Amino acid sequence: MSRHDDTDQVFEAPEESRDTSHAPPPWLLRQKVAIPEPVPGYVHRPELVDRATPTRRRLTVLQASGGFGKTTLLAECCRRLRREGIATAWISLDEQDEPAVLDAYIALACESAGLDLFDVSDAENAPVGPESRIGPIVREIQSFGGPFVIAFDEVERLGNPASIALLAFLLQRGPSNLHLAIACRMIPNDLSVATALLEGRADVVGAEDLRFSRADTARFFDLRLSRRALAEEMGRSAGWPFALRVARIGMERGAEGGGLTEKNLVGNWMESRLFANLGSDGRNLVLDLGLFDWFDSALVGEVLQRGDAMHHLDSLAVLVGLIEQRSEGATESWRLHPLVREHCANQRFQEDPERFGAIHLRIAAVLARRGETVPAVRHAIEGGDPFLAGEIVEEAGGVRLWIRLGLVQVQAVNRQLTDEVISERPRLKLVRCLVLALSGRHEEARSLYRECPRPSRRGDEDDADFEYSVDHCIVGTGMALYGTGSVGSQWLRTWSGEVARLSRSPRVDVLTRGHLEYARCVMHFLKGEFDAALERLSVARELVAGSQYLELYGELLSGQIDFVKGRVVEAQSHWRKARRVAQKCFLLDPVAVASCDVVMKELALERNLVSTVIEPTGIRSLLKRHGVPFSFFATAINVLINTRLGFGHFEEALAVADELSACLRRSELTMYLRLLAALRVTVLVIAGRIEDAERAWRRETLPEEPAACVDLSAQSWREMEAVSEARARLLIMCGRFDEARTLLRALRAVAADRGFRRIEMRALVLLIMLEGRAGVTEAGARLLTEFLELFAESPYYARSLAREREIDPELVRKFLRLNVNSPYRQTARSFLATMGRVHDGSSLSLTERERQVLRRLEGHRDKEIAAAVGLSVNGVRYHLRKLFARFGASNRAEVVRRAREQGLIPANPDR
């Protein structure tokens, strides 16, 4: 219990700080996951602390109205647990904690408590839902060994059911060593605690438990109250900690108290005790300040049109401890305690609705001039003027807010704009169109885009028309990068020409020109024009130097170019830089973080490290439910499907393809669907389902002529690679060797001409497989030598040759016998060993301990396995978790089945 600080609230970050596409301020991250420090004047109540200690049971709930000291008590319990060496994580919640944000905070909090989450992104495959996000963390907690506590403060502020589902998952599915504690004003409906209460695994500490007793109250006032004064204080406060604190402040400042009733406790108490001695002017000032989120001297002076406002506020001693201060550089700002602010806003509206609206509109105008667009729009809406909100968005740049602030901020603005306002302002219609496209709602975006007026031919002469044409082009940029239209479509060619024209116009601002140059860079990249892509990227970086967004995605793109060209060391360097930027500036942006993850996993696949490549947490949900750029989608789907192929899980690979296809067809994303269809045919061919593959090829109307398969004027390089490989495999398995040979030679020629080292090596491998099936061994031997020459220069692309079970290892042995002086003998030996591991199923490289646990997994409990192999139960569970990851399994039976399929355990294991 604090005399001078908040008893219950963890202060909320300002509206403009909540952008999950950019890193939150360091002070906010620390505050969200840090256990609050002890507050001055805290009154220790040993029995209450003992009862509320989370390790006493599975779930501890502190439930009461605001100001009852829930946060203070829970924080004291958590600090004590940490002093005792018990791992304890803390998360302060607010309304902005969407699932992608909340699971990031949970991970940060758990790491701060001592949990090692370095490999959490390599958790085993999990279904879409809470387990896909939190499951890996839960398994790390299970293997932790000792008790692990996670405390959630202000749970009632979670508004998204999916966020609440994360907490429900922890409660229902968490390991036995996990203890949960929540502090809340009310338990969310979707968080069922009844079963745990009935089973005796939970306890609720309520308002009556938290009220101060007579003895507690006496100690809070340092035993300075007489018996009569103590009795009066108990009668007025009813032991409510917040009321006691306000009374204490009043006593220290010489203020006198008034009466208090239980009904509408907060409002009555504030009016009778907090505002009683403020006077009319002071009360009006505080009511006005309740309409601000954060305020500084200049903002208050300009909005309230009085220069003495802050001086007057400083003189209101009764507010000591009820105002939070924040410093950002040389600027200091403040805000009222949330309970006080809420009461003041309600009172101002009830007493003077006209002033309520006028102040909000003035705040909106000032914030708009400062460039704080999102809160300005919110205040305009609160002030009852949605058209002013629209004007603010237009003046701030409309769709160009995406370039400056990121997607999340634009989404927040869009939610505030009414249909009536948007219908009257074409530039705002473009804002909504952009948000729809970037949020994955492509069909709606295309429909709305068609409704938007076409840019006028007078655009070069008329300023308004010119600005609209720039906005129109930017929206087209977003739609193009997120998959609308194919590379060779007339729409995309027209759009590309318009982007090139505007990027050279001196009338376009530098930031927008940089964005347009980056868009041109991406289009060149998709078409395999890598030199041109890097040139445009360099120009973009010069125009918007210091842009962390461009730094992140520029490094990712540069790394992918090096990766395809065979410069893997350079690619890894770019991706490490990208990861550092993502961790520093985009920690809560799921696409940014996942982008860094999937490119590294694709590299691991090429190195034949299949057992280390586990599906990134939540990746399928991200692909299905969010808008993602095509380059990210292509990399991610390649990882998802080829990881399963590496394990021989053909049906699972097909299930992933079908699941995503169903989502993509609704959005009519041509490039995405074409790529996915080609990968699906490859899976069918490798699985031996040739007739199904032929039917799929015809159904998807994929090209049959070699020239069409390798034509980069009508498709991306990713599509060319996938379509050509799928078609070649199908032709080979159908015995149409001449057609396959023509296609693969054409693919190899294009790859060699463009410097696509990875694709060239893959074409060579397929040619080797072709000649082997055709019985042309001399050609196969010659092609193998050519492959080894390339591999010597790019020694990472092992998967291409190693995974092809159709290639006879005898071909490599013959090379070794006939080429005793070849500089590639060691490379050939390495390949032979790798192929052997693939063929005998030992490519998982299990440790001896993992093999011991695996052999005893079926039919034995953890305790029995532990006794047999000389490990602790936690040690066995640690190795189980590793086995789940290596086999891509979600349960013990699946591990056993897959191990048996690969010959790692006998058909009738010895139990």
- Reported as a single tens digit per residue, the pLDDT across 679-699 is 999 999 988 899 999 999 999
Supply 210's token pair.
């938290």
The H or E element spanning position 198 is helix 194-198
Q: How confident is the model at residue 571 (pLDDT cuts 50, 70, 90)?
A: very high
Q: How sure is the predictor about 835, in pLDDT bands with cuts at 50, 70 and 90?
A: low
| Least confident stretch, 135-139, 192-196, 383-387, 796-800 | 796-800
pLDDT tens readout for residues 72-114: 999 999 999 999 999 999 999 887 777 777 888 888 899 889 8
Q: Which residues contact 766 (CB under 8 A, 6 or more apart)?
A: 725, 728, 729, 732, 740, 744
Does residue 216 have a pLDDT over 50?
yes
The strand pair at 331-336 and 323-328 is best described as: antiparallel
**Who has greater pLDDT, 811 or 348?**
348
pLDDT in tens, 758-768: 899 889 989 99
Cα dist from 638 to 141, 234, 659, 719, 795, whole Å? 31, 68, 15, 11, 21
Is residue 528 within 8 A of residue 759, CB to CB? The reply is no
Residues with Cβ within 8 Å of 306's Cβ and at least 6 positions away in sequence, in order, are none
Mean pLDDT taken over the chain: 81
> What is the token pair recorded at 890?
């979600």
Q: Is 855 helix (H, G, I), strand (E, B) or coil?
A: helix
Higher pLDDT, 480 or 700: 700
Contact 363, 379 (CB under 8 A): yes
Residues 6+ apart with CB under 8 A from 308: none
Residue type (1 letter), 317: A
Q: Which two tokens stand for residue 33?
A: 């996951």
The mean pLDDT value for 752-760 works out to 93
Kindly list the distances between the CA atom of residue 33 and the CA atoms of 2, 74, 107, 153, 174, in Å, as whole numbers in the listed order.
Answer: 21, 14, 10, 10, 20
User: Cα separation of 296 and 326, whole Å?
Assistant: 10
Residue 701 has which token pair?
A: 């109307």
Name the one residue in this structure whose structure tokens are 């160009």: 400
| DSSP strands (E only) in 51-119 | 59-63, 87-92
Q: b/e for 236-267, b at 16 or more Cβ within 10 A?
A: bbbbbbbbbbbbbbbbeeebebbebeeeebbe
Partners of residue 635 on adjacent β-strands: none
Measure the CA angle with vertex 373, ends 448 and 363; round to 5°: 130
pLDDT of 9 reads 34
Residue 603: name the closest of 661, 631, 562 by CA. Answer: 562
Contact 33, 91 (CB under 8 A): yes
| pLDDT class of 55 with cuts at 50, 70, 90 | very high
CB contact burial 555-567 (16+ within 10 A = b; e otherwise): bbbbbbbbbbbbb
State in Å, rounded, how far the first CA of the chain is from the last one. 59
Name beta bridge partners: 333: 326
- 149 sits in which H/E element: strand 148-153
Q: What is the DSSP letter of 908?
A: S
The per-residue pLDDT for 69 is: 86
**Do residues 4 and 41 lie in contact, with contact meaning Cβ atoms separated by under 8 Å?**
yes
* 315/282 Cα distance (integer angstroms): 9
* CA dist 162 → 131, 158, 169, 294, 412 (Å): 11, 9, 10, 29, 19
Q: Does residue 722 have a pLDDT over 90? A: yes
54 phi and psi angles, rounded to 5 deg: -60, -30
483: left (phi over 0), alpha (psi -120 to 50) or beta: left
| CA atoms of 476 and 485, how far apart (whole Å) | 10
| 8 Å CB contact between 765 and 771 | no
Cβ contacts of residue 901 below 8 Å, gap of 6+? Answer: 648, 841
- Distance, in Å, from the CA atom of 469 to the CA atom of 472, rounded to the nearest integer, reads 5
Mean pLDDT computed over 424-433:
91
DSSP β-bridge partners for residue 204: 61
- Residue 738, amino acid: D
Answer whether 337's CB lies under 8 Å from 270's CB. no
Query: Who has greater pLDDT, 135 or 450?
Result: 450
Six token digits for residue 7: 């008893």
357 pLDDT more than 60: yes
Which of 422, 419, 401, 423 is CA-nearest to residue 410?
A: 401
Which 8-state DSSP code applies to residue 910?
A: -
For residue 845, what pLDDT band results from cuts at 50, 70 and 90? low
Backbone angles phi and psi of 343, in degrees to 5: -65, -40
Kindly state the helix (H) or strand (E) to which residue 21 belongs, with its residue range.
none
What are φ and ψ of residue 608, in 5° steps? 65, 25
Q: Judge whether residue 533 has pLDDT over 60.
A: yes
3-state secondary structure 328-374: ECCEEEEEECHHHHHHHHHHHHHHCHHHHHHHHHHHHHHHHHHCCHH
d(CA 736, CA 729): 10
Cα separation, 214 vs 401, in Å, equals: 57
DSSP labels, 224-286: -S-HHHHHHHHHHHTT-HHHHHHHHHHHHHT-------STTHHHHHIIIIISTTTHHHHHHHH
The highest-confidence range among 400-409, 560-569, 582-591, by mean pLDDT, is 560-569
* Higher-scoring residue by pLDDT: 470, 39: 470
pLDDT tier, 382 (very low <50, low <70, confident <90, very high otherwise)? very high
d(CA 309, CA 307): 6
Let me know: does 736 contact 744? Beta carbons within 8 Å.
no
807 vs 828: CA distance, rounded Å: 14
- Among 137-146, 208-217, 256-265, 425-434, the range scoring the smallest mean pLDDT is 256-265
Adjacent-strand bridge partners of 148: 87, 178
pTM of the model: 0.65
User: Starting from the edge strand earliest in sequence, which strands make up the sheet with 178-184, in order?
Assistant: 87-92, 148-153, 178-184, 59-63, 202-205
Q: Which of 601, 598, 525, 607 is nearest to 566 (CA)?
A: 607
Query: Above 50 in pLDDT, residue 410?
Result: yes
C-alpha 121/C-alpha 582 separation (Å) is 15
Q: What is the pLDDT of residue 78?
A: 95
